[in-house]
Chain A
């Protein structure tokens, strides 16, 4: 649910990075935070455990400039990927405008990817969303690892909706901004339709 403030001429949208534990959701946000112009981004907040695993969420606000006289602000969130944090994941999905599903390309993580995207489906439905309509982008992360599955394999397993998909190495930034731009475009196109 986007928030449009006609008084301050602002559009606020919420993007959630979803995916299995250790797939690189937080790393995506950290890279964006590092590379964005400081004037265009706010402070990054990570609610994490002492071992730097996401406990509740990471948050990064971005201001991307103006369209039609409206300032566009995007609030990026990650969910905690570990299976047992499901209650927190559901809360973070509330009011989401677009989702980036970050998959771990390693062959050994295929089950976790499938379990996580299925979990996304269930949680979105529970929040009243139609998972087949919400702006969604897939990111196949960790493409640099030797045990990475092929893109066609990942596509067959995870991309039944045939949404935009990107190969990425979030630690070095490959594919990170491409993914972000893609989801933002989908959100704005949805907003243009009137969010109906």
Chain B
């Protein structure tokens, strides 16, 4: 897994969007986003324009990595759920299938109990989509951008 690339196709991307949109509505959340453990943003739903989603994704991944490190120090495999309570907004962060991070930001219109409940169901659906991503990767064995030339790479720096 270390060297293989994570390749997301239209279908799985849209499937993620559907799950996130449903979670957004069901949990009365402000914004929901899905991040891989390296901090890349996979999909979002909700009031994303109000947030710096790239930074949020990176810090959420850092947060999970740091608490994962803490967990292993006390003999736990992982702390799979983190909850941060703010004055106005709260953040619920959970690890799904040990691979991706589901972040839900919500305010007083919702509650941590409700978010937790809805996240559990969404996590199952995300896990199923991840299995499809893996199956696709195995079937197609594609390199993604194998047609890339040296000139293409050079063109980035012109």
A interface vs B, CB < 8 Å? 1-8, 11-12, 14, 42-43, 45, 47, 56-57, 59, 61, 64-65, 67-68, 70, 72, 75, 87-88, 90-92, 94-95, 127-129, 181, 184-185, 188-189, 191-196
B interface vs A, CB < 8 Å? 1-10, 13-14, 36-40, 42, 52, 54-55, 58-59, 62, 65-66, 68-69, 142-148, 150, 152-153, 155-157
Task: Let me know if A94 and B38 touch, CB within 8 A.
Answer: yes
* Closest residue on chain A to residue B63 by CB atoms: A56
Task: Let me know if A7 and B9 touch, CB within 8 A.
Answer: yes
Task: Let me know if A67 and B13 touch, CB within 8 A.
Answer: no
For the complex, give the distance between the alpha carbons of A193 and B144 in Å: 9
Chain B nearest CB from A99 CB (Å) reads 14
Contact of B40 among A12, A88, A181, A195 (CB under 8 A): A12
Chain A nearest CB from B59 CB (Å) reads 7
Chain A nearest CB from B39 CB (Å) reads 6
**Given A12-B40, A45-B59, A128-B2, are A5 and B8 neighbors across the interface (CB < 8 Å)?**
yes
Task: Let me know if A68 and B62 touch, CB within 8 A.
Answer: no
For the complex, give the distance between the alpha carbons of A92 and B38 in Å: 8
Task: Let me know if B55 and A42 touch, CB within 8 A.
Answer: yes
**Given A70-B145, A91-B65, are A4 and B14 neighbors across the interface (CB < 8 Å)?**
no
Task: Let me know if A5 and B1 touch, CB within 8 A.
Answer: no
Chain B residues with Cβ below 8 Å from A185 are 153
Chain B nearest CB from A70 CB (Å) reads 6
Task: Let me know if B147 and A95 touch, CB within 8 A.
Answer: no
For the complex, give the distance between the alpha carbons of A2 and B144 in Å: 10
Task: Let me know if B42 and A45 touch, CB within 8 A.
Answer: no
Most chain A CB within 10 A, of B3, B4, B6, B148, is at B3
Contact of B8 among A4, A57, A59 (CB under 8 A): A4
**Given A6-B9, A7-B14, A129-B2, are A68 and B145 neighbors across the interface (CB < 8 Å)?**
yes
4 closest A-B pairs by beta carbon, nearest first, are A194-B143, A95-B38, A7-B13, A91-B65
Task: Let me know if B52 and A67 touch, CB within 8 A.
Answer: no
Task: Let me know if B3 and A196 touch, CB within 8 A.
Answer: yes
Chain B residues with Cβ below 8 Å from A88 are 66, 69
For the complex, give the distance between the alpha carbons of A45 and B56 in Å: 10
Chain B residues with Cβ below 8 Å from A193 are 143
**Given A1-B1, A75-B39, A181-B157, are A8 and B13 neighbors across the interface (CB < 8 Å)?**
yes
Task: Let me know if B62 and A56 touch, CB within 8 A.
Answer: yes
Chain B nearest CB from A182 CB (Å) reads 10
20 contacts between A and B (CB under 8 A): A1-B3, A1-B38, A2-B144, A3-B5, A4-B6, A6-B8, A6-B9, A7-B10, A7-B13, A11-B145, A14-B38, A56-B62, A59-B39, A68-B147, A68-B148, A91-B68, A128-B2, A129-B2, A181-B157, A195-B3
Chain A residues with Cβ below 8 Å from B6 are 1-4
